Amino acid sequence: MLKRFLPYYKPYLGIVVIDLLCAGLSTVCELVFPMIVRQITNSAAAGITDAFLPMAIRLVVIYLFLRIVDTVANYYMAYIGHVMGVRLETDMRRDLFAHLERLSFSFYDNAKVGQLMSRITNDLFDVTEFSHHCPEEFFIAGLKIVGSFVILAGVNIWMTLIIFALLPLMLTGIIFFRRNMKRGFKETRVQTAELNAMIEDSLTGIRVVKSFANEPVEQEKFDRENNKFLKIKSFAYRYMALFQGSTRFMDGVMYVAVILVGSIFMANGFINGADLVAYLLYIQTLLTTIRRIVEFAEQFQKGTTGIERFFEIMDEPVTIKDKENPVVMDKVEGEIKFENVSFSYSEEGEKVLDNINIDVKKGESIALVGPSGGGKTTLCSLIPRFYDVTDGKVTLDGVDVRDISLDSLRKNIGVVQQDVYLFNGTVRENIAYGKENPTEEEIITAAKLAGAHEFILGLSEGYDTYVGERGVKLSGGQKQRISIARLFLKNPPVLILDEATSALDNESELLVQQSLERLAKDRTTFIIAHRLTTIRNAARIFVLTEDGIAEVGTHKELMEKKGEYYKLYSMYSQRS
């Protein structure tokens, strides 16, 4: 995992090198101080002479200079180092979002938006601290441990070996508790994502919650997930506390060992008082380093967990993608064929479509009707490659859609759905989404063709009116007409109208239906409808059931046949 993470450092290699150089300078400054104290102590113990004061002043000046170097180095690490971490986090978030944009519908069919949001935001927050501090802290720790050992070995090799022999005991405890900490913090990340998903789901459906007076139900769901979070995080902090507690205990053991062994060595004349003071200062430096690693351990676990979860998403395969050297469709006529098409959502799943054959001519308008679950929406989703066929092929102007570049394929297909999605912006921005850099005149023309211009002018700020999240400030008919204006601006030769009026009242349905008729003129159009009166004028009507295409014909032909379509139409007429 870390090997895969390292390439993100590449653009900032110069900053990393300077940061580590600053860390080295800071460490050297810290290691020199005990030697200065040792020198002054030894000189004082030998007796105060005329040479003592100049020597002491010289050492103090050297120490003050080293402190200035240390201050500058720490400023660079604290500022530039952290900014590098933020940039690295930003790069990872960019790559993660770009990968999520490329993933197919099959991924989103099983994903929770709240969890994905948590991975894009929360999981990567700690990467900033991790990416900056990880190389820095371990580099400093390595320098201090090696530097302390070399310096102390020069003072007394045997005492140094005895003291440093205790370090493996500390490392054993660190490794044991680290594993449990890692597991705890990973579970915390997972539960945070679950909690976010639950909150996102509840707040998005707040109108449904309130209409059923189900606030207590939602509160109970939240409390359940929140308590899970508490339990998991408590587990993680328990092992972090054990981790820190055992380290503090080992601190005491190290100090006792230095004093005990030092006293024995000093009593036997192997070291003097100044050497023992230096030992105590270096052990303090060593233990401070280990404590910093302990304190960093929580951040390290959070960072590595965030990186793990980052790569879990990055490893999701992009199943719908361009072939090598795909066909770019410059001018699309709109002739579409389904040739022996079968489809299932998974390899082991049942076939939603089985051996479907449909031939649609340029500019022809066809309707797909039938019971729910018959595969009407799925069939139309195969045209823009929201899903790929399991068997057979779908062609556009004689070219297999899998051989066409996704960009040129989808730019030539427009989709109007029952559940209209408007972005949280202005009316103008939502219409302009249909074309790159449209002019004001093009936006207004599209709105007029969609029958939306008049009601837009009646809004508080006209085209600059904010529609709210998901267009909540507009009625269903208004949202639908804005989505149709978006398609007029896009001007695709192929249209898919997926129950575009089924959720509207009669007045809105009439207005939207008129807009759709204008939009569908001279375009190859697929109409999915439950309101069968809206498709009477279709050139052909396909009755799609779980067993495949049951009937094909015009409205008049199918009514005279008195088969499946006749039954559906009669049922609809009675309900109306």
End-to-end Cα separation, the chain, in angstroms: 61
Cβ atoms of 177 and 242 closer than 8 Å: yes
Tell me phi and psi for residue 344, to 5 degrees. Answer: -140, 150
* Cα dihedral across residues 455, 531, 433, 422: positive or negative: positive
Cβ atoms of 296 and 176 closer than 8 Å: no
How many CB atoms lie under 10 A from the CB of residue 487? 24
Pairing relation of β-strands 524-528 and 494-498? parallel
* Cα dihedral across residues 251, 254, 258, 264: positive or negative: positive
Q: Which two tokens stand for residue 566?
A: 């006749």
* Cα dihedral across residues 124, 129, 131, 132: positive or negative: positive
368 three-state secondary structure: strand
**Residue 452: predicted pLDDT:** 87
**Under 8 Å CB-to-CB from 337, ≥6 apart: which residues?**
358, 359, 360, 394, 395, 398
355 three-state secondary structure: strand
Walking along the chain (576 residues) 10 residues at a time, the average pLDDT comes out as: 86 90 86 74 64 76 85 89 88 90 84 79 79 82 84 82 79 71 76 79 73 78 88 83 76 80 84 79 78 72 82 89 90 93 84 92 91 86 92 94 92 85 86 89 90 88 83 80 88 87 68 80 87 81 88 90 86 61
Cβ atoms of 387 and 343 closer than 8 Å: yes
Cβ atoms of 564 and 550 closer than 8 Å: yes
CATH 3.40.50.300 domain locations along the chain? 334-412+496-506+524-576, 420-491
Report which secondary-structure segment, H or E, holds 102: helix 52-102
**Under 8 Å CB-to-CB from 486, ≥6 apart: which residues?**
430, 431, 433, 434, 446
Cβ atoms of 304 and 181 closer than 8 Å: no
CA distance 58 to 428: 73
**Residue 361: predicted pLDDT:** 94
Residue 161's identity, in one-letter code, is L
List the CATH code of the domain at 2-314. 1.20.1560.10
**Overall pTM surpassing 0.85 (yes/no):** no
Residues 420-491, CATH architecture: 3-Layer(aba) Sandwich (3.40)
How many CB atoms lie under 10 A from the CB of residue 92? 23
Q: Which CATH number fits domain 334-412+496-506+524-576: 1.10.4030.10, 3.40.50.740, 3.30.413.10, 3.40.50.300?
A: 3.40.50.300
Number of H helices, E strands in the chain: 20, 10
CA distance 290 to 304: 19
**Under 8 Å CB-to-CB from 95, ≥6 apart: which residues?**
314
**Residue 503: predicted pLDDT:** 59
CA distance 280 to 163: 11
CA distance 311 to 314: 5
Cβ atoms of 247 and 291 closer than 8 Å: yes
Pairing relation of β-strands 336-343 and 353-360? antiparallel
50 three-state secondary structure: coil
**Residue 51: predicted pLDDT:** 66
CA distance 372 to 374: 6
Alpha helices (runs of H) in 156-166, residue ranges in sequence order: 157-164
Tokens 């400030």 appear where? 473
548 three-state secondary structure: strand
